[in-house]
Structure 1
């Protein structure tokens, strides 16, 4: 086992250190005359026991994942069989409807039995899907906790020792993501489609690790995926983190694994783009079509930096003011969002007395094509994001709980007060955005990468959010 190997590596290193070693040593000779050396490394020096425990857990999780992957493969084959059965039944029923005189009561009963059989198969498959989904959520939580432990060990102790074990867990995360992706492709064909009644609930937070700078002081920033990836960049992740609200660079990673391993393939500095200072401010940026959209400093405006052509431009937003930011963070005056319908920006104006204004951005002209006025005071809002043309606003409930409390539908121009609570991991966060390519929320929370699964209201779904009236 890797942990056992690491034990002897540490032991040898301690022997080399000699008198400076914190090991407790004893020497003896056994009955055969062989010399025996014993050494004990206290857990305060290096918690080898934690690594051994983590490795045992990794083996268990790997076994679970292999089982769930085989189940997903079985679901795929079952779905093909069920689809064929349903198609055959559909053809048969159409024939019976077209020529009812050619079929007697026996034929009708036979069709009813086949329909009941298919119904039973579908119910069985639904139960299996629910079980697999809950297992995957549980595994993801376990892996997230272990990555957090490894990050702590890496910061506290020799990172080269921990790195070997970390790679094991990154491989587990990759396998988990692949299993979830295949599961979603089979059972969630609605990604990118808005045939639902809005958000139903938010999952538990999936905490990946501390940021790529391994610095909790970098509490301002964001991370996520491209909301409209270029061909070949579907798995690309990005990260931008700072100790203040100045936005000066962004780093790109080939995939989630590279993000966690801090192996970026490109870092873009905004300080000098064609000999001009293009730095921004706030924690309100997104990446779309390999272009960074963010709040420009001077003049106060919305800006975009094309990471392919390495060119930048800005556009002043009429009447937008710098006086009203979100509750958790300063300088979030222009907040960008992307969903299934396009790109958006939220802000406030002096004329609106600080109430939030929502604008739809025409991506080709990089200008506002339509604007909506809401009735929520922006400084009372934790953050906002867009899903299928609907604005969702959050606020704090307590130190561990956030709540989606307000929605504004741009199609119907209707607003609603709702209550959809979710865990925010720590008492504050600075970045929250929805990505339509995987239907996840991405949060940057005091230096940590956090994400959530989003569940929508479909026909027959349960746990619908409570509509609050009279507010």
Structure 2
């Protein structure tokens, strides 16, 4: 072993020993290897950082969202033209239908213009990035010549093996045979995975409103099946007095609001206006935390009538029972409204439950609280919740890029699971609202002005999306 070390050192250095007539002895060491170009490595690191800053997942998702919106809008246009061809009476009906189609064509043209502009920017970015990457590749090959001991190569091989092992473990976990169980009237089972994001947009007010909620009505009124809704907290990141409606996903992406706002009250905030971002729309009715009360407001978008449902005495409100993580709490998230296949739910906490989550079913006609469940998960350890197939799910903050669905509560069996272990890739650090849509089985998130949606996979459906 010592001989090998000596031989290796001799390969790198030339030793010259000099001895004088006295007792002193000197030894000159001459390095035969080329000097390592540290400045060149530093320049490469800066170039890599610049490249990473230019190419982000937001840019990719922006293009995907525009393409998805255009695809949906074209399908809708085709359907409307087909109806016109079949039912045109040549008079009033035909004129109205043509007017609708004309409006849709305007929206499609706006979407195409935005798509063309985005595509051109991406093409220029791709060409520039390709040139930079080619230069980096050549420079890296030159630097590899300095790795004479194969240290970097060995680390690279080890990292690759670890990645392969992790992918193998993930594959084993995601392909496990699903349990053939049914939960009440919903045969989908538990959520198995969340994939995406599938849709990403900042809408028509990019960077303006950090708190809000958006989604689709799980029980839409006739003619509004493709509509989307958006609530932005326009006052102090805490209050709002209207809901904004969009005729489709493409309209929301490009920021064309038709029919526009439905106003709850001219003032903001005031009695019966929205407090906090946890809002849902179900059956043409907006459910939200009433301003300065521990009550649910039931606002009918058609009649503009407001009905209130007071929660149990001791319910925490006015930012005393918020969602939180180690770095911050989300103000005015005391009441979280949620929807799934069976209707509307409310998630909250009370003094009697010592801050643990409480789940209640919201019944309509008349508006009242139905069955209530008490959990053992502390609300301030949770960042958000949603309902799917009669099961409550809770998330927690992992990092600015990752959120984890860590907890579930099955309302049919009463069983809790603290080890769900489903991770969500985020487009921004804070998930301020989550709404599950059983219409398309998508999970809609509002994250620091970003509107993002994810595909929800259930265990009894595998990876299929009907």
TM range (shorter): 0.5 to 0.7
Shift of 1:428: 1.1
Q: Which residue matches 2:246?
A: 253
Q: Which residue matches 1:209?
A: 201
Deviations 1:363-407 (A, max 9, x none): 222110111000011011010000111000000122211111111
Q: Which residue matches 1:353?
A: 354
- Aligned Cα root-mean-square deviation (Å): 3.3
1:308 equivalent in alignment to 2:302:
yes
Aligned length: 290
Long gaps (5+) in structure 2: 1-54, 75-109, 120-181
Shift of 1:325: 0.8
Deviations 1:340-378 (A, max 9, x none): 122100100001110000001112221101110000110
* 1:152-167 aligned within 5 A: 165-166=113-114
Larger radius of gyration: 2
Q: Which residue matches 1:325?
A: 322
* 1:434-449 aligned within 5 A: 434-449=436-451
Residues 394 and 407 in structure 2, CA contact (< 8 A), matched pair in contact too: yes
Long gaps (5+) in structure 1: 1-49, 70-161, 172-189, 463-471
Residues 233 and 277 in structure 2, CA contact (< 8 A), matched pair in contact too: no
> Residue 277 of structure 2 is aligned with which of 283, 287, 297?
283
Shift of 1:164: 6.0
Tell me the SS of whatever aligns to 2:114: helix
Deviations 1:132-163 (A, max 9, x none): xxxxxxxxxxxxxxxxxxxxxxxxxxxxxx97
- Give the distance between the partners of 2:256 and 2:384, measured in 1 at CA: 30
Residues 58 and 169 in structure 1, CA contact (< 8 A), matched pair in contact too: no
- Give the distance between the partners of 2:112 and 2:431, measured in 1 at CA: 31
Shift of 1:58: 8.2
Which is bigger in relative contact order (C-alpha 8 A, separation at least 6)?
Answer: 2
Residues 280 and 288 in structure 2, CA contact (< 8 A), matched pair in contact too: yes
Residues 189 and 389 in structure 2, CA contact (< 8 A), matched pair in contact too: no
Runs of 4+ in 1 over 6 A off after TM superposition: 459-462
**1:169–1:366 CA distance, 2 compared to 1 (3 A):** farther
Shift of 1:196: 2.8
Q: Which residue matches 1:266?
A: 260
Residues 243 and 261 in structure 2, CA contact (< 8 A), matched pair in contact too: yes
When the two structures are superposed, what TM-score results if normalisation uses the length of structure 1?
Answer: 0.57
Residues 348 and 354 in structure 1, CA contact (< 8 A), matched pair in contact too: yes
1:221 equivalent in alignment to 2:204:
no
Deviations 1:183-228 (A, max 9, x none): xxxxxxx9x97323311110021342213223x1310111111121
Tell me the SS of whatever aligns to 2:380: helix
- Give the distance between the partners of 1:367 and 1:344, measured in 2 at CA: 11
Tell me the SS of whatever aligns to 2:385: strand
Residues 272 and 278 in structure 1, CA contact (< 8 A), matched pair in contact too: no
Q: Which residue matches 2:132?
A: none
Q: Which residue matches 1:427?
A: 429
- Give the distance between the partners of 1:262 and 1:410, measured in 2 at CA: 38
- Give the distance between the partners of 2:197 and 2:302, measured in 1 at CA: 33
Q: Which residue matches 1:150?
A: none
Relative to structure 2, which stretch is displaced further, 394-403 or 162-171? 162-171
Deviations 1:66-95 (A, max 9, x none): 9xx9xxxxxxxxxxxxxxxxxxxxxxxxxx
- Give the distance between the partners of 2:340 and 2:379, measured in 1 at CA: 21
Tell me the SS of whatever aligns to 1:204: strand
Deviations 1:28-54 (A, max 9, x none): xxxxxxxxxxxxxxxxxxxxxx9xxx9
When the two structures are superposed, what TM-score results if normalisation uses the length of structure 2?
Answer: 0.57
Q: Which residue matches 2:363?
A: 362
1:198 equivalent in alignment to 2:190:
yes
1:397 equivalent in alignment to 2:388:
no
**1:308–1:58 CA distance, 2 compared to 1 (3 A):** closer
